[in-house]
Structure 1
Amino acid sequence: MTDSTPQLTRLRTRMLSTAYTNADIWTRDSAYLTDQAVAALARRDPGAAETLAKSLLAPEFLNDTRILGAAVEAGIDTTGWEERREKIRAYAREAYELSPKTDPADEAGRIWASLYDHYPQIAAALADFLRAMPDTWREDLFTTSPHSPGATPQTRELPGPETAPYDPLDWEDCPACAEAQDSCRYHRGIYEGMEYQRDLITTALTDHTAMDQLQHRHAELDAQRARQATSAATSTPPPDPTTPAATA
């Protein structure tokens, strides 16, 4: 881009590139829908769209008064916004201030309380399971031996055992994400799946060798389906001459 490139073009380039390259599905959707809204404004009022783009690329300090004023002007109910903001900020503070070495007793108490609150039947079954363990449970589980879980090397850091139920539709207020103070196992799996899909699509679009192999494989599958169709057509048994349809 040059110095003469309109601010609107700069803004749309940034938003569309974000929608194309970002791995987070909500960021992609927000960037694309914002671009479409700005494009609609440009078709209706090019001057206002250019002014908006300029202000977005050189933003002023955004305070609560401006946000709440715009919400009131749009007729939006903001009564629950402050509580939700404090909740999200509390999660962020806890994640930032969390000690890397958590006390085992405290963590055990937290996990048990969360399990009891959300899944009491599982908590009861776990209590029965632990009560039925032999008196040698500590030696059986934690003695240093090739078969001891404590001696098994961890190849990678595993996510924490969330006991709160996850919310598949909400990445901000998911109880399991809040408990893990990170993405829960469900949302982390979705994120890794999107990463894999993005890498696969990027490879297919940019790697000519992979594209040739993909096209070759499609051609093989088409040929295989054609052979199966031909074989099915030729293997159809002839009609029985004794049937009424054959003698008619």
Structure 2
Amino acid sequence: MGTTQLTRLRTRMLATAYSNADIWTQRTAFLTDQAVVALARRDPAAAEALAALLLTPEILHDTQILGAAVEAGIDTSAWEERREKTRTYAREAYELPPQFDPATEAKRIWASLYDHYPQIAADLAVFLRDLPPTWHEDLFTSSPHSPAATRRTVLELPGPETAPYDPLDWEDCPACAEAQDQCRYHRGVFDGMEYQRALIKTALTDHLAIDQLQQRHTARTAAADTSTSS
């Protein structure tokens, strides 16, 4: 086949940008495509060489990254500390066992709810006040034949966070600190990034996968054309 490295890279980047639901993955793929195209207009050989490198799944080394930063005049003195802090946080988030007792956790959640969402705390207090005298039996007593009787005990799970999450700070997010773990938002983002990383890696290394993406795109385009014409 006479397909150039640049054409292969563009096909994969644009297919990723078109097919991906994650906005950051879409933007990264599309802007990478546009950057390589801009380079190709000035130096086709350099663009072809760069495309070949991008299509080669090789591990980057610190010396390469730091060397490029030094050449660009970027101060990297705080990078090592930042990377270690991020890795330590990620390691602790997954290895830290949930350690709490119900009474302490209830007080913590109430204090956090009152601090961050006072109106919700007020409505919750009214709701609890209006529960019938049998509320404990009604909520926490079930028949041994009930599906609820087989549910996991809450002690197996870490306490839920109440503090607002900070989408711009992975290291000092109040909700992560409160939960002593990744908060629901950051855990979801992390899982999504892992999924997207695996998807992009597949798109960059698996010829069959990109063929399937192209076939899917062709089928959807044909279906859309048929729907429009009818």
1:97 matched residue in structure 2: 95
Flag structure 1 segments of 5+ consecutive residues without an equivalent: 155-159, 188-201, 217-248
Whether the aligned pair in 2 keeps the contact of 1:114 and 1:163 (CA below 8 Å) is no
Q: Distance in 2 between matches of 1:49 and 1:115?
A: 54
Alignment correspondent of 2:202: none
> Is the contact between residue 8 and residue 50 of structure 1 (CA under 8 Å) also seen in structure 2?
yes
Residue 226 of structure 1 corresponds to which residue in structure 2?
A: none
Residue 108 (structure 1) shift: 2.8
* Residue aligned with 2:142, SS: coil
Instruction: Give the equivalent residue in structure 1 for 2:46.
Output: 48
Q: Which residue of 2 aligns with 1:164?
A: 163
8 Å CA contact 2:4–2:48 kept in 1: the answer is yes
Percentage identity across aligned positions? 55
Q: Which has the higher contact order (CA 8 A, sep 6+)?
A: 2
Moved more, 132-141 or 35-44: 132-141
RMSD: 4.8
Matched AA of 2:183:
E
Point out the structure with max Rg over C-alpha: 1
Identify the range of structure 1 (56-65 vs 88-97) with the bigger mean alpha-carbon deviation: 88-97
Note the alpha carbon deviations across 1:137-165, whole angstroms, 9 max, x for none.
533421226xx9x56989xxxxx844232
User: What is the TM-score normalised by the length of structure 1?
Assistant: 0.54
**1:183 aligned onto 2:188:** yes
C-alpha distance in structure 1 between counterparts of 2:138 and 2:72, whole Å: 64
Q: 1:55 to 1:126 in 2, by over 3 A?
A: same
* Aligned partner of 2:109 among 112, 116, 123: 112
Equivalent residue for 1:243?
none
Using structure 2 for the length normalisation, give the TM-score: 0.57
Deviates most, 27-36 or 82-91: 82-91
Contact kept? 2:114, 2:121, Cα under 8 Å:
no
Q: What is the distance in 2 between the residues matched to 1:72 and 1:138?
A: 64
Residues 38 and 113 of structure 1: is their aligned pair in 2 closer, same or farther, counting only changes over 3 Å? farther
How far off is 1:13 after superposition?
1.6
| Alpha-carbon separation, structure 2, partners of 1:207 and 1:94 | 49
Q: Distance in 2 between matches of 1:171 and 1:93?
A: 17
Q: Is residue 2:32 matched to residue 1:34?
A: yes
1:166-209 Cα offsets, whole Å, 9 max, x none, are 346x496693573235127xx9xxxxxxxxxxxxxx7x94473x
> Which has the larger displacement, 28-37 or 175-184?
175-184
Any unmatched runs of 5+ in structure 2?
Answer: 153-158, 177-181, 193-216
Write the distance in 2 (CA, Å) between the matches of 1:13 and 1:92.
34
Other structure's SS at 1:183 match: helix
- Once residues 37 and 24 of structure 2 are traced to their aligned partners in structure 1, the CA distance between those partners, rounded to angstroms, is 20
Name the amino acid aligned to 1:164.
A
Letter of the 1:179 counterpart? C
